[in-house]
A and B are shown apart, each in its own frame.
Chain A
Amino acid sequence: MTLKEIKDLVQGEIICGEDYLDQQIECVFASDLMSDVLTLKDVNNLLLLTGLSNLQSIRTCEMSDISFLLIVRGKEVTEEMKELAEDNDMVVIRTEYSMYKTSGILYNAGLPAVY
């Protein structure tokens, strides 16, 4: 599934990375705990769902080689976060939907969990 399709399914807003919306996503991980995100081994074409919207969620993606981030519960994304995400060529999308609702919609649409 492409990021564009995901964005439409969750009525999301693109924060940065508009040029990469045709990228394919193959699996999803959802967590607010960054230490758990840091345990993931294979993150190719992985989308991270999180309600943690601060510099550390972007840093965690940078260290984990995760390029695609979907921020749930309509959390604010600061200019600093956006800049750091752009420096790392990331796509960041934001949705007003809750973590559960977002997960349900994406799972229903055929996106599997990473584990």
Chain B
Amino acid sequence: MNFVYHVEGGDFTNAGSTSSQVKRMLKKIGVSPEIVKKTVVALYEAEVNIVAHAYRGDITVDLEEDHIKIVLADEGPGIPDIDRAMQKGYSTASQKVREMGFGAGMGLPNIKNNSDSLNITSEVGKGTTIELINYFQ
């Protein structure tokens, strides 16, 4: 099953609404609470990243029998140095993002810690794509 959600950059009111829908979906099909939590924590951080840094993005959720694959593709400034962005504490977030309780350079490390497989590609001036997979067993 495939679901696509649209996310607008700067829309902090709705930041997390996709994660909320995915959480309900995973709970409904009986995925274990630990795996639901790690999946939605990773997704929520990544969704907040689109709102915080990009102009807009699409989140495609591919739900299979034994795993979930989530692709977050945004149009935005891109990440010049992904290795640096993966370091705890490194952040380029605005004051507005920090006021929302994020932007302390924990987002990407949190995403990594909560996904079984993570792939990040980015092109400066175009955007970033994050692909994460979590297995249900």
Contacts and interface: CB of A to CB of B under 8 A. Distances in A.
A65 B45 contact: no
Nearest to B101: A34
17 contacts: A33-B106, A35-B45, A35-B101, A35-B110, A38-B45, A38-B106, A39-B106, A52-B101, A55-B13, A56-B12, A56-B48, A56-B100, A56-B101, A57-B101, A59-B15, A63-B23, A65-B33
Nearest to A88: B20
Given A33-B106, A62-B20, A63-B19, A38 B33 contact: no
Interface in A57-73: 57, 59-60, 62-65
Contacts of A57: 101
A56 B102 contact: yes
User: How many interface residues does chain A have, given as a range?
Assistant: 20 to 34
A32 interface: yes
B41 interface: yes
A36 interface: yes
B104 A56 contact: no
B40 interface: yes
A59 B41 contact: no
Contacts of A39: 106, 110, 113
Interface class of chain B by DSSP: helix
Nearest to B97: A56
A38 B104 contact: no
Contacts of B48: 56
B107 A35 contact: yes
A63 B45 CA distance: 10
B106 A63 contact: no
A62 B47 CA distance: 14
Contacts of B100: 34, 52, 54, 56
Given A63-B23, A63-B37, A63-B44, 17 more contacts: A33-B106, A34-B100, A34-B102, A35-B110, A38-B41, A38-B44, A38-B45, A39-B106, A52-B100, A54-B12, A54-B99, A54-B100, A54-B101, A55-B13, A59-B16, A59-B44, A62-B20
Contacts of B19: 59, 63
B16 A62 contact: yes
